[in-house]
Amino acid sequence: MRLVLLLLCIPFALLLEGFRRKLIARMQSRVGPPVWQVFLDLRKLLSKRTLIARESHNLLFEFMPFAGLITAVILILLISGIVSFNYDFLVIAYLFVALDAFLIVGGVASKSPFALQSSSRDLLLMIGYESAFILSIITFFSVSGSSSLLVYSPVFLPLASIIIIIAGMPMVGITPFDTVRAGTELAGCVKSEYSGPGLFAFELGEFVRDFAYYWLVSVLLAGWSWFALIVFAVLFFGFCLSQASTPRLSALNTAKVLLGLGVLAFINLFMLV
């Protein structure tokens, strides 16, 4: 049963991305692509020939997207409760950071100037949003007194909830904090040199990670109840609305906001625990 759940998670993550594209298109008075377009895109990527520039030809560059995809699948295993142990929430938090780090290392290993610039930008911003994300998860678990995500009982923490939602925006790539995915500035960003199956693993890893984020935050805010589904839907809709209705902040302003968010998360944890 649990294996079936895990197998369903990946297509559901892709469907969610399809819905995201469709919903944003409708918000912009466009028809948008069909919901299953993501499946077609990924299938096409698998059939594409891998082209790697001579400078990018190294093991790190080739392996990192697959490491990211494996990490994303492990994240789903942990968040869905298929695998559960004491203090698994800390592992979940670290896996989110590790996934981002794998993708950044892949970008650096590609030696593309765009990927290098995007990686250095992401490294700076990660100090803010990843620390805010981890500290908020610790805040939720410390206040609730739960030792594992599977036995988590929800607590009402408005500031920590806002922090974890804002910290998720640069992670999922939502304006105004999607600076690391700013295609008009950095072309393909960390993905600039990837093609074929490498890009497939990269993209799939990101979609699964985004799905894992929505799932985790829904559980943190509403616990293991039907209400979590409503939180999931509201969070997803809110992110789509933000994506459709706000412009992107500049890198400098994003860094200011996210570093401030990290500090705020630390103060919040200090005050509550």
Positions in the binding site for other proteins (CB under 8 A): 24, 27-30, 113-114, 116-117, 120-121, 175-176, 178-179, 182-187, 243-253
CB of 36 to other proteins, least distance (A): 22
Q: Are 109 and 58 in contact (CB under 8 A)?
A: yes
Q: Are 107 and 115 in contact (CB under 8 A)?
A: yes
If the CB atoms of residues 73 and 180 are measured against other proteins, the closer one turns out to be: 180
From CA 15, how far away is CA 132, in angstroms rounded?
28
CB of 70 to other proteins, least distance (A): 30
If the CB atoms of residues 138 and 255 are measured against other proteins, the closer one turns out to be: 255
From CA 222, how far away is CA 114, in angstroms rounded?
40
If the CB atoms of residues 78 and 108 are measured against other proteins, the closer one turns out to be: 108
From CA 129, how far away is CA 134, in angstroms rounded?
9
CB of 217 to other proteins, least distance (A): 23
Helices (H), ranges, the chain: 2-27, 37-47, 59-79, 88-110, 113-144, 158-172, 183-186, 196-222, 227-245, 251-272
- Least Cα distance to 138 among 91, 80, 177 occurs for 91
Rg (Cα) of the chain, in Å, rounded? 18
If the CB atoms of residues 57 and 256 are measured against other proteins, the closer one turns out to be: 256
CB of 32 to other proteins, least distance (A): 11
From CA 78, how far away is CA 235, in angstroms rounded?
21
CB of 178 to other proteins, least distance (A): 7
